[in-house]
Amino acid sequence: MSQAVHIPFDNLYVTLDERLFSHRHPTPVKQPGLIRVNDPLARLLGIDPQALQSAEGVNILAGNAVAEGSQPIATVYAGHQFGSWNPQLGDGRAILLGEVIGSDGLRYDVQLKGAGETPYSRMGDGRSPLGPVLREYIVSEAMYALGVPTTRALAAVTTGERVARDDIFPGAILTRVARSHIRVGTFQFFGAREDWEAVRTLADHVIERHYPHISGSTAPYLELLQTVVERQAQLIAQWQSIGFIHGVMNTDNMLVGGETVDFGPCAFMESYDPRTVFSSIDRQGRYAYANQPGIAHWNLAWLAQSLLPLLHPDEKTALELAGQALNVFPDLYNQHYTRLMCKKLGFEEPGEEPRALMIEFLTLLQQESLDFTLSFRVLADYLGSEEPAAGSVGELYPLPFTLNDWLGRWRDELGVASMDSNQLQTLRQQLQSTNPVFLPRNHRVEEAIQAGNRGDFGPFHKLVDLLTKPFDFDPDHSEYIFPAKPEEAVTRTFCGT
């Protein structure tokens, strides 16, 4: 028996100012079909996952029915895409159904991505092929499980329609959940038009929604900028620490709430090389792994630019304040990055020696073309001076002997020789809960997409299930830990458009 679907909408953005969005209903699709509902996330949002899987639920997820309490809108924004200013973007294929207060007390957007044309569709069809929907579901949920702030996937459905890109693909819709979808580009849209009233409305909303601790401040907009700078420094350091390459860090793909958004041409680095780029449209390598912190800093400068008149009535003073807020980014980022990377080696305090060992380790990984993720993970199996134990990840992915000297100095610095077995075990567990063993490796994501295009969602479900526990090694699925073999390697990923 299917129950009535109840989504406890409590919409705020739609009440703010008509300049921020357009009212727009999703366009119904031919034949909605359920791929997956994210049960724990549905429960967090106060939605019965069973009901969401009913025919009525699937109709809502496909945009064929509008849930009670939903006030569907498409939001407007602008942005710098690959460095070039685009004054008019917006939700071209996404429709915000409304917001829900989760059982954690936080406000969440519930948005359909691929739900049809909007006033911001430009030349696009407002639709999404299945592949990008599956990729976003897999990678965003993996990021969540890895502890990285991210938008999430509540559901994926097929549309029964075909979507034309460089080929013809099945159509699909993702239900995306975010703390908000307010982007640097949202501020830019109004800042570029010198619509400071709208900028202020937006800034007040972001403070109330994401950073309520600022609301009593004497300089709330400066604190807003400082806080977003801090959040992004932390976020990008987390990306770097797991080898995540976003691929399309345009200012419209950076959320002021500090969550990762837009899993278009993203991928995880395998053999360590800071110059790694995946996106097929990133020909200059603008968004290469090593460039991500610098690009985030650049994007934040555009946020600052859009906030200037709110920072101080005197332009020169406003520029000085913005400059000071921005200038701390590299140091903040480095602090977070160094702390996270040293923790991956088992050091709680990122002192001089741990830092030197970290840099040397990365150099060795690059020289030996070793897998970034596995090389850190197997360190837990090298705490003793003997070989990794039978059945361990280290046995499956042994480090080459060229690392022996480094391993010796690493153990000395950790002081493993003087640890008792309990202390060693604690350290081993700490390393294993910091360094994931399962990631959405590019060839596995590709495999899930190819199968999905043939109507087989088995590999997709298997990957999603496995990635809910990225730190727990399950020997039954050991084939998922490995990087791509040369013939499987995915060297280019394509945008979701």
**Which one of ligand AMP, Mg ion, none is in contact with 496 (Cβ closer than 5 to 8 A by kind)?**
ligand AMP
**Binding status of residue 253 toward Mg ion by CB under 5 A:** yes
Smallest distance from ligand AMP to CB 94, Å: 6
331 is catalytic: no
Alpha helices in 315-457 (DSSP H): 315-327, 329-344, 352-367, 372-377, 393-396, 404-414, 421-434, 442-453
Select from 15-23, 247-255, 339-347, 382-390 the region that touches Mg ion (CB under 5 A).
247-255
**Residue number with CB closer to Mg ion (92 or 220):** 92
**Which one of Mg ion, ligand AMP, none is in contact with 408 (Cβ closer than 5 to 8 A by kind)?**
none
**Residue number with CB closer to ligand AMP (250 or 435):** 250
Q: How far apart are CA 277 and CA 266, in angstroms?
A: 9
Strand pairing of 168-178 and 128-129?
A: antiparallel
**Residue number with CB closer to Mg ion (128 or 432):** 128
Select from 68-76, 189-197, 246-254, 354-362 the region that touches Mg ion (CB under 5 A).
246-254
**Residue number with CB closer to ligand AMP (125 or 273):** 125
Smallest distance from Mg ion to CB 236, Å: 17
**Binding status of residue 53 toward Mg ion by CB under 5 A:** no
**Residue number with CB closer to ligand AMP (143 or 248):** 248
Q: Which two tokens stand for residue 395?
A: 């046995």
**Binding status of residue 262 toward Mg ion by CB under 5 A:** yes
**Which one of Mg ion, ligand AMP, none is in contact with 259 (Cβ closer than 5 to 8 A by kind)?**
none
3-state secondary structure of 244: strand
Q: Is 144 within 8 Å of 153 (Cβ atoms)?
A: no
**Binding status of residue 99 toward Mg ion by CB under 5 A:** no
Phi, psi of 132 (to 5 degrees): -60, -30
**Which one of Mg ion, ligand AMP, none is in contact with 459 (Cβ closer than 5 to 8 A by kind)?**
none
Sign of CA dihedral 113, 111, 244, 229: positive
Smallest distance from ligand AMP to CB 233, Å: 22
Sign of CA dihedral 464, 469, 470, 474: negative
**Binding status of residue 128 toward Mg ion by CB under 5 A:** no
Q: How far apart are CA 16 and CA 201, in angstroms?
A: 7
Q: Which two tokens stand for residue 105?
A: 């007390």
**Residue number with CB closer to ligand AMP (47 or 173):** 173
Residues in touch with ligand AMP (CB under 6 A): 89-93, 120-121, 124-127, 248, 252-253, 262, 264, 495-497
Distances in Å between the alpha carbon of 316 and those of 217, 237, 308, 320? 22, 32, 10, 6
Q: What is the CA radius of gyration of the chain?
A: 23
Beta bridge partner(s), residue 164: 168
Q: Which of 109, 252, 262, 381 is catalytic?
A: 252
Smallest distance from Mg ion to CB 112, Å: 15
Site residues for Mg ion, window 456-485 (CB under 5 A)?
Answer: none
**Which one of Mg ion, ligand AMP, none is in contact with 126 (Cβ closer than 5 to 8 A by kind)?**
ligand AMP
Q: How far apart are CA 56 and CA 68, in angstroms?
A: 12
Q: Is 244 within 8 Å of 268 (Cβ atoms)?
A: yes
Smallest distance from Mg ion to CB 190, Å: 18
Quick one: angle between helices 196-210 and 220-242, nearest 10? 60
Residues that bind Mg ion (CB under 5 A): 253, 262
Q: Which residues are catalytic?
A: 252
